[in-house]
Amino acid sequence: MIIVIMGILSTYASSRLNFASHDASGYAEIVKSSIRLAQKLAVAQRAAHTVTFPVNPCGGSPVNGLQVAGEQCVPVPNGVAVSGLSTITFDGLGRPDVSAVTTITVSGGDVSRVIFLEPETGYVHE
């Protein structure tokens, strides 16, 4: 009897859970760390390095994704949207090829996170 009640309650509760908000927060961290990785690789190798979005298909997946050149592609989770990012290239000194502060918005569920990329230093922050 208890198992039946637990099954009914878990079915009801799982339909109410919203994972898009959690996925959006997690993917915003992936976007920030990918941009930082591209900058660090550019400085370490003293050569240009690029972050590209969207990469379609991403790693055999039919969805768009984010990819640092030469690294693994990270697909966008279901229910998450990314806007404002296309291609960012860092030179050997770690400077991005943007002339003004660039904003990247990651949203999903009731969460919207805005990431800023500074033009001269390549500093990434929220």
The pLDDT tens digits of the residues spanning 70-86 come to 788 888 888 898 888 78
- What the block records as the tokens of 87 is 């291609």
Confidence (pLDDT) at 45: 94
Residue 90 has a pLDDT of: 94
Q: In this structure, is residue 115 part of a structural domain?
A: yes
Q: Is 120 exposed, middle or buried (0-12, 13-18, 19+ CB in 10 A)?
A: exposed
Q: Can you list the residues of the chain whose pLDDT is less than 70?
A: 9, 12-18, 57, 59-63
The number of distinct structural domains making up the chain is 1
pLDDT at 118: 94
Whole-model pTM above 0.85? no
Q: What is the pLDDT of residue 1?
A: 75
Position 46 in a domain:
yes
Compute the distance between CA of residue 116 and CA of residue 36 in angstroms, rounded to an integer.
12
Cis-peptide, bond into residue 54, ω within 30° of zero: yes
Which domain, by its residues, includes 62?
20-125
Is 102 inside any structural domain?
A: yes
